[in-house]
Amino acid sequence: MSGKGGHDLFVYGSLQEPQVLYVLLNRVPDHVSAVLSGFHRFRLKGRVYPTILPDGTREVTGKVLKGITDDELKLLDEFEDVEYDRNTVEVVLKDNSEKLQVDTYVWRNKDDPDLYGEWDFEEWKLHDKEDFVTATKKFVEGKRLPEAKTRIDTFKTFFKQDIENGKTLDS
């Protein structure tokens, strides 16, 4: 949803990481901790980022990024690419229990066979953050080229090198 200072966006995966935000947006937006009820955060086989889908019972912790500009939202939409739909959801802020209508990215393919388990942000920071930040830099650099690659293609190319060197992607 759009607020006075731009859009508010609930993030629950790699976009919680200030370094990733800085690479993408050239700034770290103001943010507050929040909980999204009725959703589950999944790991994805062969990927270093999570997704969410409604399940009616669980909750996902994350952050609400405040004041995202139209241009930044467009860039984030490109980054999330065709795998996600941006939907409006209601979250509850952790510090004051205020309810907010915000946008978030929900996995488009609810029957995806690559969905499994529970994605963990702290584990991601330990094992995948550094490579993810590097791949994100390549995505941003590639956007400046006339034949710009999608985030999916950029990440496949980047992380394919890791697979060939014996490193798995779903640590």
Q: Which residues are catalytic, by number?
A: 80
The CA distances from residue 17 to 42, 105, 128, in Å, are 18, 16, 12
Contacts of 58 (CB under 8 A, 6+ apart): 37, 38, 39, 40
Across 19-41, b (16+ Cβ under 10 Å) vs e yields bbbebbbeeebebbebbbeebbb
Q: Tell me the C-alpha distance between 85 and 105, whole Å.
A: 6
Kindly state the helix (H) or strand (E) to which residue 167 belongs, with its residue range. none
Q: Using the 8-state DSSP alphabet, how is residue 21 labeled?
A: H
The CA distances from residue 73 to 27, 68, 80, 81, 133, in Å, are 13, 6, 10, 12, 19
Q: How many CB atoms lie within 10 A of CB 134?
A: 12
